[in-house]
């Protein structure tokens, strides 16, 4: 266990490929013609909830869902800003997967801009 802090000192961590996705509702995310775990249509999964309003263009989301995704993004940013950097995946999609589209998230005030602009208070206090 003592090797982990030494490793971070020698090679500062960078967080790669995170998104605003809280579900697997985006079309084709799990493969062409494959369902979602959220709706229990993915092989071996069970129903958790509906994908209705949880994907698609961000402009079509309810304000409650936008706020939930924004809070999720803010918590991730709080954690990842303690590292040497992070990479958001992806900057642009074909429109049907807003939770993966940085431009849509920015345009709809779901991704903080500037990065330190927080709509919600700090959720985790251990970093």
Domain spans of the chain, in order of start: 3-27+56-107
Between 28 and 104, name the one with better pLDDT: 104
What pLDDT is recorded for position 58? 96
- Token pair for 113: 């801009």
The answer to whether residue 69 scores a pLDDT higher than 90 is yes
CB 84 within 8 A of CB 13: yes
Kindly list the distances between the CA atom of residue 60 and the CA atoms of 66, 70, 83, in Å, as whole numbers in the listed order: 10, 15, 33
- Residue whose tokens read 């709080």: 78
Between 61 and 92, name the one with better pLDDT: 61
- Token pair for 108: 């709809």
Kindly list the distances between the CA atom of residue 117 and the CA atoms of 91, 121, 122, 123, in Å, as whole numbers in the listed order: 19, 10, 12, 14
**Confidence at 91, pLDDT banded by 50, 70, 90:** confident
- Residue whose tokens read 């979602």: 36
Q: Which residues pair with 86 in a beta bridge?
A: 15
The pTM (predicted TM-score) of the whole model is 0.85
**Confidence at 103, pLDDT banded by 50, 70, 90:** very high
């Amino acid at each position: 266990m003592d090797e982990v802090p030494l490793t971070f000192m020698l090679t500062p961590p960078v967080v790669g490929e995170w998104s605003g996705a809280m579900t697997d509702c985006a079309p084709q995310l799990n493969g062409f013609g494959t369902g979602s775990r959220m709706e229990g249509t993915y092989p071996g999964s069970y129903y958790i909830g509906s994908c209705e309003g949880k994907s698609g263009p961000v402009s079509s989301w309810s304000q409650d869902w936008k706020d939930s995704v924004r809070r999720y993004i803010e918590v991730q940013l709080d954690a990842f800003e303690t590292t040497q950097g992070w990479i958001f995946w992806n900057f642009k999609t074909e429109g049907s997967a807003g939770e993966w589209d940085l431009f849509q998230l920015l345009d709809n005030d779901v991704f903080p801009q500037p990065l330190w602009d927080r709509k919600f208070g700090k959720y985790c206090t251990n970093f």
